[in-house]
Chain A
Protein backbone atom coordinates (compact mmCIF):
# COMPACT_ATOMS: atom_id res chain seq x y z
CA UNK A 1 0.00 0.00 0.00
CA UNK A 2 2.86 2.30 0.64
CA UNK A 3 5.51 3.48 -1.72
CA UNK A 4 7.47 5.33 0.91
CA UNK A 5 11.15 4.64 1.35
CA UNK A 6 11.70 1.19 2.64
CA UNK A 7 12.98 1.08 6.15
CA UNK A 8 15.01 -2.11 6.35
CA UNK A 9 13.07 -4.53 8.33
CA UNK A 10 14.43 -6.62 11.15
CA UNK A 11 17.93 -6.71 12.45
CA UNK A 12 19.64 -4.78 9.70
CA UNK A 13 18.26 -1.33 10.47
CA UNK A 14 20.58 -0.65 13.35
CA UNK A 15 17.93 -0.38 15.98
CA UNK A 16 17.78 -3.31 18.32
CA UNK A 17 15.14 -5.89 17.48
CA UNK A 18 11.91 -4.35 18.62
CA UNK A 19 10.58 -5.57 21.90
CA UNK A 20 7.14 -5.91 20.30
CA UNK A 21 6.53 -9.56 19.43
CA UNK A 22 5.45 -10.39 15.89
CA UNK A 23 2.57 -12.40 17.32
CA UNK A 24 1.17 -12.19 20.79
CA UNK A 25 -1.96 -14.19 21.54
CA UNK A 26 -3.57 -14.54 24.95
CA UNK A 27 -6.25 -17.12 25.75
CA UNK A 28 -7.22 -17.37 22.10
CA UNK A 29 -10.53 -19.20 21.83
CA UNK A 30 -12.81 -20.23 18.97
CA UNK A 31 -16.11 -22.06 19.13
CA UNK A 32 -17.93 -23.73 16.26
CA UNK A 33 -21.35 -24.42 17.71
CA UNK A 34 -20.70 -26.44 20.84
CA UNK A 35 -17.29 -27.56 19.63
CA UNK A 36 -14.37 -25.74 21.20
CA UNK A 37 -12.04 -25.69 18.20
CA UNK A 38 -9.41 -23.54 19.89
CA UNK A 39 -9.26 -23.54 23.66
CA UNK A 40 -7.34 -20.84 25.54
CA UNK A 41 -4.17 -20.87 23.50
CA UNK A 42 -1.29 -18.52 24.31
CA UNK A 43 1.35 -17.91 21.66
CA UNK A 44 4.26 -15.51 21.44
CA UNK A 45 6.34 -15.33 18.29
CA UNK A 46 9.35 -13.03 18.27
CA UNK A 47 10.50 -11.05 15.28
CA UNK A 48 12.79 -13.01 12.96
CA UNK A 49 11.99 -16.52 14.15
CA UNK A 50 10.30 -19.51 12.56
CA UNK A 51 7.62 -20.71 14.90
CA UNK A 52 5.97 -24.06 14.25
CA UNK A 53 2.48 -25.09 15.28
CA UNK A 54 2.50 -28.87 15.28
CA UNK A 55 -0.55 -31.10 15.45
CA UNK A 56 -2.65 -33.68 13.65
CA UNK A 57 -5.57 -32.94 11.34
CA UNK A 58 -8.42 -31.27 13.14
CA UNK A 59 -6.30 -30.12 16.09
CA UNK A 60 -7.14 -26.45 15.46
CA UNK A 61 -3.91 -25.32 13.81
CA UNK A 62 -5.58 -23.73 10.78
CA UNK A 63 -8.22 -22.11 12.97
CA UNK A 64 -5.52 -20.45 15.09
CA UNK A 65 -3.79 -19.21 11.97
CA UNK A 66 -7.00 -17.92 10.38
CA UNK A 67 -7.89 -15.98 13.51
CA UNK A 68 -4.44 -14.38 13.64
CA UNK A 69 -4.70 -13.52 9.93
CA UNK A 70 -8.07 -11.72 10.43
CA UNK A 71 -9.85 -14.36 8.35
CA UNK A 72 -11.93 -15.69 11.24
CA UNK A 73 -13.47 -13.70 14.09
CA UNK A 74 -11.91 -14.30 17.50
CA UNK A 75 -14.44 -15.61 20.02
CA UNK A 76 -12.36 -15.18 23.16
CA UNK A 77 -9.01 -13.83 24.29
CA UNK A 78 -6.95 -11.36 22.32
CA UNK A 79 -4.25 -11.29 19.69
CA UNK A 80 -1.78 -8.66 18.53
CA UNK A 81 0.38 -8.61 15.43
CA UNK A 82 3.37 -6.28 15.87
CA UNK A 83 1.33 -4.59 18.57
CA UNK A 84 -1.79 -4.08 16.41
CA UNK A 85 -4.97 -5.57 17.76
CA UNK A 86 -6.25 -8.23 15.36
CA UNK A 87 -9.87 -7.54 16.27
CA UNK A 88 -9.99 -3.77 16.10
CA UNK A 89 -7.09 -2.96 13.76
CA UNK A 90 -7.55 -5.61 11.09
CA UNK A 91 -6.66 -3.29 8.26
CA UNK A 92 -3.28 -2.49 9.84
CA UNK A 93 -2.65 -6.16 10.52
CA UNK A 94 -3.41 -7.09 6.91
CA UNK A 95 -0.68 -4.72 5.74
CA UNK A 96 1.91 -6.62 7.75
CA UNK A 97 1.08 -10.21 6.92
CA UNK A 98 1.17 -12.63 4.01
CA UNK A 99 -1.00 -15.73 4.12
CA UNK A 100 -0.44 -18.96 2.22
CA UNK A 101 -3.19 -21.46 2.88
CA UNK A 102 -3.40 -25.21 2.58
CA UNK A 103 -5.22 -24.89 -0.69
CA UNK A 104 -3.85 -22.63 -3.35
CA UNK A 105 -5.62 -19.31 -3.18
CA UNK A 106 -5.00 -18.06 -6.67
CA UNK A 107 -7.54 -17.36 -9.40
CA UNK A 108 -8.16 -20.32 -11.66
CA UNK A 109 -9.47 -18.19 -14.49
CA UNK A 110 -6.21 -16.28 -14.80
CA UNK A 111 -2.71 -17.27 -15.83
CA UNK A 112 0.15 -17.34 -13.34
CA UNK A 113 1.45 -13.98 -14.48
CA UNK A 114 -2.01 -12.40 -14.46
CA UNK A 115 -2.54 -13.60 -10.91
CA UNK A 116 0.68 -12.05 -9.62
CA UNK A 117 0.00 -8.84 -11.54
CA UNK A 118 -3.49 -8.59 -10.08
CA UNK A 119 -2.31 -9.09 -6.49
CA UNK A 120 0.42 -6.50 -7.07
CA UNK A 121 -2.10 -3.97 -8.41
CA UNK A 122 -4.43 -4.64 -5.50
CA UNK A 123 -1.61 -3.79 -3.14
CA UNK A 124 -0.79 -0.47 -4.68
CA UNK A 125 1.89 -1.22 -7.26
CA UNK A 126 1.86 0.54 -10.61
CA UNK A 127 0.96 -1.67 -13.56
CA UNK A 128 4.54 -1.68 -14.83
CA UNK A 129 6.00 -2.42 -11.43
CA UNK A 130 3.45 -5.19 -10.82
CA UNK A 131 4.51 -6.79 -14.11
CA UNK A 132 8.21 -6.64 -13.29
CA UNK A 133 7.74 -8.09 -9.81
CA UNK A 134 5.49 -10.80 -11.26
CA UNK A 135 8.22 -11.72 -13.75
CA UNK A 136 10.90 -11.76 -11.02
CA UNK A 137 8.83 -14.01 -8.79
CA UNK A 138 7.92 -16.34 -11.66
CA UNK A 139 11.60 -16.72 -12.52
CA UNK A 140 12.59 -17.30 -8.92
CA UNK A 141 9.92 -19.91 -8.38
CA UNK A 142 10.78 -21.65 -11.66
CA UNK A 143 7.41 -20.84 -13.17
CA UNK A 144 8.51 -18.73 -16.14
CA UNK A 145 7.60 -21.40 -18.68
CA UNK A 146 4.15 -21.75 -17.21
CA UNK A 147 3.63 -17.99 -16.81
CA UNK A 148 1.03 -17.77 -19.57
CA UNK A 149 -0.78 -21.00 -18.85
CA UNK A 150 -4.08 -20.98 -16.97
CA UNK A 151 -3.83 -22.23 -13.41
CA UNK A 152 -6.11 -25.15 -14.21
CA UNK A 153 -3.17 -26.68 -16.08
CA UNK A 154 -0.76 -26.27 -13.14
CA UNK A 155 0.41 -29.25 -11.12
CA UNK A 156 -0.10 -29.28 -7.35
CA UNK A 157 3.50 -28.27 -6.69
CA UNK A 158 3.34 -25.42 -9.18
CA UNK A 159 0.16 -24.08 -7.63
CA UNK A 160 1.76 -24.18 -4.22
CA UNK A 161 4.75 -22.23 -5.46
CA UNK A 162 2.60 -19.66 -7.20
CA UNK A 163 0.56 -19.32 -4.04
CA UNK A 164 3.65 -18.61 -1.96
CA UNK A 165 4.93 -16.20 -4.62
CA UNK A 166 1.62 -14.32 -4.40
CA UNK A 167 2.12 -13.91 -0.65
CA UNK A 168 5.55 -12.34 -1.15
CA UNK A 169 4.71 -9.52 -3.56
CA UNK A 170 4.88 -6.81 -0.92
CA UNK A 171 7.43 -8.57 1.26
CA UNK A 172 5.26 -8.90 4.34
CA UNK A 173 7.02 -8.74 7.71
CA UNK A 174 5.11 -11.76 9.02
CA UNK A 175 4.24 -14.76 6.86
CA UNK A 176 1.66 -17.37 7.80
CA UNK A 177 2.19 -20.72 6.12
CA UNK A 178 -0.52 -23.31 6.59
CA UNK A 179 0.99 -26.75 6.04
CA UNK A 180 3.37 -25.53 3.36
CA UNK A 181 4.59 -28.97 2.30
CA UNK A 182 1.53 -31.18 2.70
CA UNK A 183 1.15 -33.11 -0.54
CA UNK A 184 4.52 -32.09 -2.00
CA UNK A 185 7.03 -34.66 -3.19
CA UNK A 186 10.36 -34.88 -1.29
CA UNK A 187 12.27 -32.73 -3.77
CA UNK A 188 9.74 -29.93 -3.76
CA UNK A 189 9.50 -30.25 -0.02
CA UNK A 190 13.22 -29.60 0.42
CA UNK A 191 13.05 -26.65 -1.94
CA UNK A 192 10.15 -25.22 0.04
CA UNK A 193 12.21 -25.59 3.21
CA UNK A 194 15.12 -23.72 1.61
CA UNK A 195 12.76 -20.98 0.49
CA UNK A 196 11.36 -20.61 3.99
CA UNK A 197 14.84 -20.39 5.52
CA UNK A 198 15.81 -17.85 2.90
CA UNK A 199 12.81 -15.67 3.75
CA UNK A 200 13.81 -15.63 7.38
CA UNK A 201 17.41 -14.86 6.50
CA UNK A 202 16.05 -11.75 4.80
CA UNK A 203 14.24 -10.60 7.89
CA UNK A 204 10.76 -12.10 7.67
CA UNK A 205 9.10 -13.80 10.60
CA UNK A 206 7.30 -17.05 9.90
CA UNK A 207 4.49 -18.83 11.67
CA UNK A 208 3.88 -22.22 10.08
CA UNK A 209 1.64 -25.15 10.83
CA UNK A 210 2.65 -28.71 10.13
CA UNK A 211 1.67 -32.30 10.79
CA UNK A 212 5.26 -33.47 10.50
CA UNK A 213 7.66 -33.60 13.40
CA UNK A 214 10.66 -33.70 11.07
CA UNK A 215 9.46 -30.52 9.37
CA UNK A 216 9.12 -28.69 12.67
CA UNK A 217 12.53 -30.04 13.60
CA UNK A 218 14.14 -28.95 10.34
CA UNK A 219 12.70 -25.43 10.28
CA UNK A 220 11.33 -24.11 13.50
CA UNK A 221 13.26 -22.50 16.30
CA UNK A 222 10.34 -23.07 18.61
CA UNK A 223 7.33 -25.33 18.40
CA UNK A 224 3.92 -25.43 20.04
CA UNK A 225 2.16 -28.78 19.99
CA UNK A 226 -1.61 -28.48 19.64
CA UNK A 227 -4.09 -31.24 20.28
CA UNK A 228 -7.88 -30.98 20.25
CA UNK A 229 -7.72 -27.20 20.42
CA UNK A 230 -5.30 -27.08 23.34
CA UNK A 231 -1.63 -26.36 23.56
CA UNK A 232 -0.07 -29.44 25.11
CA UNK A 233 3.61 -28.51 24.89
CA UNK A 234 5.91 -25.73 23.78
CA UNK A 235 9.65 -25.53 23.36
CA UNK A 236 12.53 -26.02 20.95
CA UNK A 237 12.35 -29.17 18.82
CA UNK A 238 15.27 -30.56 20.84
CA UNK A 239 13.42 -30.04 24.13
CA UNK A 240 10.34 -31.73 22.72
CA UNK A 241 12.30 -34.69 21.50
CA UNK A 242 14.08 -35.27 24.81
CA UNK A 243 10.69 -35.05 26.44
CA UNK A 244 9.42 -37.71 24.07
CA UNK A 245 12.52 -39.83 24.23
CA UNK A 246 13.16 -42.73 22.03
CA UNK A 247 14.18 -43.24 18.46
CA UNK A 248 14.27 -46.69 16.93
CA UNK A 249 16.68 -48.80 14.86
CA UNK A 250 15.43 -50.60 11.78
CA UNK A 251 17.67 -53.30 10.30
CA UNK A 252 17.34 -55.24 7.07
CA UNK A 253 19.22 -58.59 7.03
CA UNK A 254 20.90 -59.90 3.88
CA UNK A 255 19.61 -63.40 4.67
CA UNK A 256 16.19 -63.83 6.24
CA UNK A 257 17.40 -66.99 7.96
CA UNK A 258 19.63 -64.87 10.22
CA UNK A 259 16.79 -62.70 11.50
CA UNK A 260 16.12 -64.87 14.53
CA UNK A 261 19.71 -64.75 15.74
CA UNK A 262 19.88 -61.01 15.12
CA UNK A 263 16.69 -60.36 17.07
CA UNK A 264 18.09 -62.31 20.02
CA UNK A 265 21.24 -60.18 20.01
CA UNK A 266 19.25 -56.95 19.78
CA UNK A 267 16.99 -58.01 22.63
CA UNK A 268 20.03 -58.59 24.85
CA UNK A 269 21.54 -55.19 24.08
CA UNK A 270 18.41 -53.03 24.40
CA UNK A 271 15.67 -52.95 26.97
CA UNK A 272 13.03 -53.44 24.26
CA UNK A 273 11.53 -56.44 22.52
CA UNK A 274 12.43 -56.19 18.83
CA UNK A 275 9.63 -56.42 16.30
CA UNK A 276 10.26 -58.65 13.28
CA UNK A 277 9.22 -57.07 10.00
CA UNK A 278 6.23 -58.60 8.17
CA UNK A 279 8.47 -60.18 5.51
CA UNK A 280 10.69 -61.73 8.16
CA UNK A 281 13.82 -60.27 6.59
CA UNK A 282 14.51 -57.64 9.24
CA UNK A 283 13.43 -56.13 12.55
CA UNK A 284 13.09 -52.88 14.41
CA UNK A 285 13.88 -52.13 18.03
CA UNK A 286 13.31 -49.08 20.24
CA UNK A 287 16.42 -47.41 21.65
CA UNK A 288 16.61 -45.75 25.02
CA UNK A 289 19.83 -44.08 23.85
CA UNK A 290 20.96 -43.49 20.27
CA UNK A 291 24.36 -45.07 21.04
CA UNK A 292 22.65 -48.43 21.40
CA UNK A 293 22.33 -48.47 17.60
CA UNK A 294 26.09 -48.84 17.33
CA UNK A 295 26.13 -51.56 19.99
CA UNK A 296 23.59 -53.61 18.05
CA UNK A 297 25.33 -53.14 14.70
CA UNK A 298 28.77 -54.04 16.13
CA UNK A 299 27.32 -57.19 17.72
CA UNK A 300 25.78 -58.21 14.39
CA UNK A 301 29.12 -57.65 12.69
CA UNK A 302 31.01 -59.68 15.31
CA UNK A 303 28.63 -62.58 14.85
CA UNK A 304 28.99 -62.52 11.08
CA UNK A 305 25.33 -61.56 10.51
CA UNK A 306 25.37 -59.39 7.35
CA UNK A 307 22.90 -56.60 6.89
CA UNK A 308 21.78 -54.75 3.76
CA UNK A 309 20.41 -51.64 5.43
CA UNK A 310 20.12 -49.97 8.82
CA UNK A 311 18.34 -46.76 9.76
CA UNK A 312 17.79 -44.89 13.00
CA UNK A 313 14.31 -43.38 12.97
CA UNK A 314 13.13 -40.34 14.86
CA UNK A 315 10.05 -40.60 17.02
CA UNK A 316 7.01 -40.01 14.85
CA UNK A 317 4.23 -37.55 15.42
CA UNK A 318 2.23 -40.47 16.75
CA UNK A 319 4.89 -41.03 19.40
CA UNK A 320 4.79 -37.34 20.28
CA UNK A 321 1.08 -37.42 20.76
CA UNK A 322 1.06 -40.63 22.61
CA UNK A 323 3.66 -39.33 25.04
CA UNK A 324 2.13 -35.88 25.49
CA UNK A 325 -1.56 -36.67 25.46
CA UNK A 326 -1.79 -40.37 26.20
CA UNK A 327 -3.82 -41.02 23.05
CA UNK A 328 -2.98 -41.65 19.43
CA UNK A 329 -3.40 -38.87 16.94
CA UNK A 330 -5.98 -39.64 14.33
CA UNK A 331 -3.71 -40.74 11.52
CA UNK A 332 -3.61 -37.93 9.02
CA UNK A 333 -4.11 -38.93 5.44
CA UNK A 334 -1.91 -36.59 3.43
CA UNK A 335 -3.41 -35.88 0.06
CA UNK A 336 -1.06 -36.89 -2.66
CA UNK A 337 -1.00 -34.33 -5.36
CA UNK A 338 0.55 -35.22 -8.66
CA UNK A 339 3.68 -33.25 -9.12
CA UNK A 340 5.02 -32.97 -12.58
CA UNK A 341 7.65 -30.33 -12.17
Chain B
Protein backbone atom coordinates (compact mmCIF):
# COMPACT_ATOMS: atom_id res chain seq x y z
CA UNK B 1 0.00 0.00 0.00
CA UNK B 2 1.71 3.15 -1.10
CA UNK B 3 0.88 6.24 0.89
CA UNK B 4 -2.73 7.30 0.56
CA UNK B 5 -5.07 5.27 -1.53
CA UNK B 6 -6.95 6.95 -4.26
CA UNK B 7 -10.18 5.15 -4.65
CA UNK B 8 -11.38 4.80 -8.22
CA UNK B 9 -13.85 7.50 -9.07
CA UNK B 10 -15.33 5.47 -11.88
CA UNK B 11 -17.93 3.38 -10.11
CA UNK B 12 -21.43 4.52 -9.51
CA UNK B 13 -22.37 5.53 -6.03
CA UNK B 14 -25.90 5.31 -4.78
CA UNK B 15 -27.02 8.32 -2.89
CA UNK B 16 -29.93 8.93 -0.66
CA UNK B 17 -31.86 9.88 -3.76
CA UNK B 18 -31.34 6.78 -5.92
CA UNK B 19 -32.18 3.84 -3.71
CA UNK B 20 -34.45 0.99 -4.74
CA UNK B 21 -37.05 -0.32 -2.39
CA UNK B 22 -36.82 -3.96 -3.44
CA UNK B 23 -34.61 -6.27 -5.49
CA UNK B 24 -35.75 -6.72 -9.10
CA UNK B 25 -36.11 -10.39 -10.08
CA UNK B 26 -33.34 -10.12 -12.68
CA UNK B 27 -30.92 -8.83 -10.07
CA UNK B 28 -31.93 -11.57 -7.64
CA UNK B 29 -31.26 -14.23 -10.29
CA UNK B 30 -27.81 -12.78 -10.98
CA UNK B 31 -27.06 -12.76 -7.25
CA UNK B 32 -28.16 -16.39 -6.96
CA UNK B 33 -26.00 -17.51 -9.87
CA UNK B 34 -23.03 -15.54 -8.51
CA UNK B 35 -23.35 -17.29 -5.17
CA UNK B 36 -23.84 -20.64 -6.94
CA UNK B 37 -20.53 -19.94 -8.68
CA UNK B 38 -18.95 -19.33 -5.28
CA UNK B 39 -20.26 -22.66 -3.98
CA UNK B 40 -18.99 -24.51 -7.06
CA UNK B 41 -15.50 -22.99 -6.67
CA UNK B 42 -15.58 -24.06 -3.03
CA UNK B 43 -16.61 -27.59 -4.03
CA UNK B 44 -13.80 -27.79 -6.60
CA UNK B 45 -11.21 -26.64 -4.05
CA UNK B 46 -12.44 -28.97 -1.30
CA UNK B 47 -13.09 -32.21 -3.20
CA UNK B 48 -13.44 -34.12 0.07
CA UNK B 49 -16.91 -32.56 0.29
CA UNK B 50 -17.93 -34.87 -2.54
CA UNK B 51 -17.32 -38.09 -0.60
CA UNK B 52 -20.99 -38.43 0.31
CA UNK B 53 -22.07 -38.32 -3.32
CA UNK B 54 -19.31 -40.56 -4.72
CA UNK B 55 -18.10 -43.24 -2.32
CA UNK B 56 -21.26 -43.49 -0.24
CA UNK B 57 -23.52 -44.51 -3.16
CA UNK B 58 -20.98 -47.15 -4.21
CA UNK B 59 -20.87 -48.51 -0.68
CA UNK B 60 -24.66 -48.51 -0.27
CA UNK B 61 -25.34 -50.15 -3.62
CA UNK B 62 -22.81 -52.94 -3.17
CA UNK B 63 -23.63 -53.50 0.49
CA UNK B 64 -27.43 -53.54 0.24
CA UNK B 65 -27.40 -55.39 -3.09
CA UNK B 66 -25.34 -58.27 -1.74
CA UNK B 67 -26.87 -58.32 1.77
CA UNK B 68 -30.60 -58.12 1.05
CA UNK B 69 -30.79 -59.38 -2.53
CA UNK B 70 -31.12 -63.07 -1.68
CA UNK B 71 -33.41 -62.56 1.30
CA UNK B 72 -35.87 -60.21 -0.36
CA UNK B 73 -35.96 -61.09 -4.04
CA UNK B 74 -34.24 -64.45 -4.22
CA UNK B 75 -31.15 -63.07 -5.94
CA UNK B 76 -29.15 -59.88 -6.30
CA UNK B 77 -30.03 -59.57 -9.99
CA UNK B 78 -33.77 -59.69 -9.24
CA UNK B 79 -33.36 -57.22 -6.42
CA UNK B 80 -31.45 -54.54 -8.35
CA UNK B 81 -34.49 -53.03 -10.21
CA UNK B 82 -36.15 -52.54 -6.81
CA UNK B 83 -32.97 -51.53 -5.00
CA UNK B 84 -31.34 -49.02 -7.39
CA UNK B 85 -34.21 -46.48 -7.32
CA UNK B 86 -34.28 -46.89 -3.54
CA UNK B 87 -30.55 -46.25 -3.24
CA UNK B 88 -30.84 -43.21 -5.53
CA UNK B 89 -33.48 -41.72 -3.27
CA UNK B 90 -31.54 -42.60 -0.14
CA UNK B 91 -28.22 -41.12 -1.31
CA UNK B 92 -30.09 -38.02 -2.45
CA UNK B 93 -31.63 -37.62 0.99
CA UNK B 94 -28.28 -38.17 2.74
CA UNK B 95 -26.45 -35.79 0.42
CA UNK B 96 -28.91 -32.95 0.92
CA UNK B 97 -28.29 -33.26 4.65
CA UNK B 98 -24.96 -31.56 3.96
CA UNK B 99 -26.79 -28.38 2.86
CA UNK B 100 -27.78 -27.59 6.45
CA UNK B 101 -24.34 -28.22 7.90
CA UNK B 102 -22.72 -26.16 5.14
CA UNK B 103 -24.99 -23.16 5.65
CA UNK B 104 -24.41 -23.28 9.41
CA UNK B 105 -20.63 -23.32 8.90
CA UNK B 106 -20.90 -20.51 6.35
CA UNK B 107 -23.07 -18.38 8.62
CA UNK B 108 -20.48 -18.61 11.37
CA UNK B 109 -17.93 -17.06 9.03
CA UNK B 110 -17.40 -13.35 8.43
CA UNK B 111 -18.31 -13.47 4.77
CA UNK B 112 -21.98 -14.07 5.62
CA UNK B 113 -22.00 -10.85 7.64
CA UNK B 114 -20.96 -9.09 4.51
CA UNK B 115 -23.69 -10.78 2.49
CA UNK B 116 -26.18 -9.58 5.07
CA UNK B 117 -24.86 -6.03 4.87
CA UNK B 118 -25.24 -5.92 1.06
CA UNK B 119 -28.42 -4.82 -0.73
CA UNK B 120 -29.06 -8.28 -2.15
CA UNK B 121 -32.11 -10.52 -2.13
CA UNK B 122 -32.46 -12.23 1.24
CA UNK B 123 -32.93 -15.58 -0.45
CA UNK B 124 -29.75 -15.38 -2.55
CA UNK B 125 -27.22 -16.64 0.03
CA UNK B 126 -29.49 -19.68 0.53
CA UNK B 127 -30.59 -20.28 -3.04
CA UNK B 128 -27.07 -19.89 -4.48
CA UNK B 129 -25.52 -22.91 -2.75
CA UNK B 130 -28.76 -24.82 -3.41
CA UNK B 131 -28.26 -24.29 -7.11
CA UNK B 132 -24.68 -25.57 -6.92
CA UNK B 133 -25.86 -28.61 -4.99
CA UNK B 134 -27.93 -29.74 -7.98
CA UNK B 135 -24.61 -31.00 -9.35
CA UNK B 136 -24.11 -33.11 -6.23
CA UNK B 137 -27.47 -34.84 -6.59
CA UNK B 138 -26.82 -35.56 -10.26
CA UNK B 139 -23.43 -37.05 -9.37
CA UNK B 140 -24.94 -39.23 -6.62
CA UNK B 141 -27.65 -40.64 -8.92
CA UNK B 142 -25.25 -41.23 -11.79
CA UNK B 143 -22.75 -43.06 -9.57
CA UNK B 144 -25.50 -45.28 -8.16
CA UNK B 145 -26.77 -46.20 -11.61
CA UNK B 146 -23.26 -46.90 -12.89
CA UNK B 147 -22.49 -49.23 -9.99
CA UNK B 148 -25.86 -50.90 -10.49
CA UNK B 149 -25.14 -51.51 -14.17
CA UNK B 150 -21.75 -52.99 -13.26
CA UNK B 151 -23.53 -55.32 -10.82
CA UNK B 152 -25.92 -56.45 -13.51
CA UNK B 153 -28.79 -53.93 -13.45
CA UNK B 154 -30.36 -53.50 -16.89
CA UNK B 155 -32.87 -50.63 -16.66
CA UNK B 156 -35.89 -51.43 -18.81
CA UNK B 157 -36.64 -47.73 -19.23
CA UNK B 158 -33.56 -47.22 -21.38
CA UNK B 159 -31.49 -44.07 -21.57
CA UNK B 160 -34.56 -41.85 -21.57
CA UNK B 161 -36.12 -43.49 -18.54
CA UNK B 162 -32.85 -43.31 -16.63
CA UNK B 163 -32.33 -39.65 -17.57
CA UNK B 164 -35.86 -38.84 -16.39
CA UNK B 165 -35.08 -40.67 -13.17
CA UNK B 166 -31.96 -38.58 -12.57
CA UNK B 167 -33.92 -35.37 -13.17
CA UNK B 168 -36.54 -36.49 -10.65
CA UNK B 169 -33.85 -37.35 -8.10
CA UNK B 170 -32.30 -33.90 -8.53
CA UNK B 171 -35.72 -32.29 -7.98
CA UNK B 172 -36.17 -34.42 -4.84
CA UNK B 173 -32.76 -33.37 -3.51
CA UNK B 174 -33.40 -29.70 -4.17
CA UNK B 175 -36.77 -29.67 -2.40
CA UNK B 176 -35.76 -31.80 0.61
CA UNK B 177 -32.59 -29.73 1.09
CA UNK B 178 -34.79 -26.79 2.18
CA UNK B 179 -35.79 -28.81 5.25
CA UNK B 180 -32.13 -29.18 6.20
CA UNK B 181 -31.42 -25.58 5.29
CA UNK B 182 -34.16 -24.54 7.68
CA UNK B 183 -32.60 -26.68 10.42
CA UNK B 184 -29.18 -25.23 9.54
CA UNK B 185 -30.36 -21.64 9.81
CA UNK B 186 -32.28 -22.14 13.05
CA UNK B 187 -29.97 -24.43 15.09
CA UNK B 188 -27.24 -22.93 17.22
CA UNK B 189 -24.24 -25.07 16.32
CA UNK B 190 -22.96 -27.39 13.63
CA UNK B 191 -23.28 -30.29 16.06
CA UNK B 192 -26.95 -29.51 16.70
CA UNK B 193 -27.60 -29.25 12.97
CA UNK B 194 -26.05 -32.65 12.44
CA UNK B 195 -28.02 -34.29 15.21
CA UNK B 196 -31.37 -32.82 14.21
CA UNK B 197 -30.74 -33.50 10.53
CA UNK B 198 -30.05 -37.16 11.26
CA UNK B 199 -33.37 -37.40 13.08
CA UNK B 200 -35.13 -36.06 10.00
CA UNK B 201 -33.01 -37.92 7.48
CA UNK B 202 -33.40 -41.49 8.80
CA UNK B 203 -37.21 -41.61 8.85
CA UNK B 204 -37.34 -39.91 5.44
CA UNK B 205 -34.97 -42.44 3.92
CA UNK B 206 -35.97 -45.63 5.73
CA UNK B 207 -39.68 -45.24 6.49
CA UNK B 208 -40.27 -45.64 2.80
CA UNK B 209 -40.51 -48.37 0.22
CA UNK B 210 -36.79 -48.03 -0.54
CA UNK B 211 -35.59 -51.48 0.45
CA UNK B 212 -38.53 -53.74 1.27
CA UNK B 213 -41.99 -54.24 -0.23
CA UNK B 214 -44.43 -52.13 1.78
CA UNK B 215 -47.00 -54.96 2.17
CA UNK B 216 -44.61 -56.76 4.53
CA UNK B 217 -44.90 -53.90 7.03
CA UNK B 218 -47.44 -53.52 9.87
CA UNK B 219 -50.47 -51.48 8.87
CA UNK B 220 -49.63 -48.26 10.68
CA UNK B 221 -46.13 -48.25 9.19
CA UNK B 222 -47.62 -48.72 5.74
CA UNK B 223 -49.60 -45.54 6.35
CA UNK B 224 -46.44 -43.68 7.32
CA UNK B 225 -44.57 -44.81 4.21
CA UNK B 226 -47.50 -43.73 2.08
CA UNK B 227 -47.38 -40.08 3.24
CA UNK B 228 -43.59 -39.94 2.93
CA UNK B 229 -42.91 -38.09 -0.33
CA UNK B 230 -39.72 -40.12 -0.71
CA UNK B 231 -41.82 -43.29 -1.21
CA UNK B 232 -43.66 -41.69 -4.10
CA UNK B 233 -40.38 -40.56 -5.64
CA UNK B 234 -39.04 -44.12 -5.36
CA UNK B 235 -42.16 -45.58 -6.97
CA UNK B 236 -41.92 -42.96 -9.71
CA UNK B 237 -38.22 -43.77 -10.20
CA UNK B 238 -39.06 -47.48 -10.57
CA UNK B 239 -41.77 -46.68 -13.11
CA UNK B 240 -39.51 -44.36 -15.10
CA UNK B 241 -36.28 -46.33 -14.99
CA UNK B 242 -37.61 -49.88 -15.24
CA UNK B 243 -40.65 -49.38 -17.49
CA UNK B 244 -40.31 -45.90 -18.95
CA UNK B 245 -43.86 -45.32 -17.75
CA UNK B 246 -45.11 -41.85 -16.90
CA UNK B 247 -47.45 -42.96 -14.13
CA UNK B 248 -49.54 -41.13 -11.58
CA UNK B 249 -46.75 -41.80 -9.09
CA UNK B 250 -44.57 -39.34 -11.03
CA UNK B 251 -47.25 -36.72 -10.50
CA UNK B 252 -47.53 -37.48 -6.79
CA UNK B 253 -43.75 -37.38 -6.47
CA UNK B 254 -43.54 -33.94 -8.08
CA UNK B 255 -46.46 -32.68 -6.02
CA UNK B 256 -44.75 -33.90 -2.83
CA UNK B 257 -41.53 -32.08 -3.78
CA UNK B 258 -43.41 -28.86 -4.52
CA UNK B 259 -45.26 -29.09 -1.21
CA UNK B 260 -42.05 -29.59 0.77
CA UNK B 261 -40.40 -26.63 -0.99
CA UNK B 262 -43.47 -24.42 -0.50
CA UNK B 263 -43.43 -25.08 3.25
CA UNK B 264 -39.72 -24.92 3.94
CA UNK B 265 -38.48 -22.12 1.66
CA UNK B 266 -40.34 -19.43 3.63
CA UNK B 267 -39.29 -21.00 6.94
CA UNK B 268 -35.62 -21.12 5.93
CA UNK B 269 -35.57 -17.57 4.57
CA UNK B 270 -37.29 -16.28 7.68
CA UNK B 271 -34.94 -17.93 10.14
CA UNK B 272 -31.95 -16.86 8.03
CA UNK B 273 -33.06 -13.21 8.03
CA UNK B 274 -33.59 -13.28 11.78
CA UNK B 275 -30.24 -14.80 12.47
CA UNK B 276 -27.67 -12.67 14.31
Contact = CB atoms under 8 A, between A and B. Distances in A.
Interface residues of A, number: 67
Contact of A202 (B7, B18, B46): B7
Contact of B13 (A6, A69, A72, A105): A6
A321 to B, nearest CB: 28
Contact of B116 (A9, A71, A95, A140): A71
A171 B12 contact: yes
From B2, B112, B274, residue with most partner A Cβ within 10 Å: B2
Interface string A1-43: 1111011010000000010100000000000000000000000
Given A106-B111, A191-B3, A122 B12 contact: no
A101 B15 contact: no
Contact of B12 (A3, A70, A114, A191): A3
Interface stretch (A49-57, A162-170, A306-314): A162-170
Contacts of B114: 99, 101, 105-106, 119, 166
A233 interface: no
Interface in A76-107: 82-84, 89, 91-92, 94-99, 101, 103-107
Main secondary structure, interface of A, reads loop
Interface stretch (A193-201, A285-293, A329-337): A193-201
A118 B4 contact: no
Nearest to B38: A118
A143 to B, nearest CB: 8
A212 interface: no
B9 A122 contact: no
A137 B109 CA distance: 23
Contacts of A71: 113, 116-117, 276
A172 interface: yes
Interface of A: 1-4, 6-7, 9, 18, 20, 69-73, 82-84, 89, 91-92, 94-99, 101, 103-110, 114, 118-119, 121-125, 133, 136-137, 140-142, 150, 161, 166, 168-173, 188, 191, 194-195, 197-199, 202, 341
Q: Which 6 A-B pairs have the closest CB atoms?
A: A105-B110, A171-B13, A82-B16, A142-B1, A194-B4, A94-B119
Interface of B: 1-23, 27, 30-31, 34-35, 37-38, 41-42, 45-46, 109-120, 124, 274, 276
18 contacts: A1-B20, A1-B23, A6-B12, A9-B15, A91-B119, A92-B21, A94-B118, A105-B110, A109-B38, A109-B46, A118-B34, A118-B37, A122-B34, A140-B5, A140-B7, A170-B12, A198-B5, A198-B6
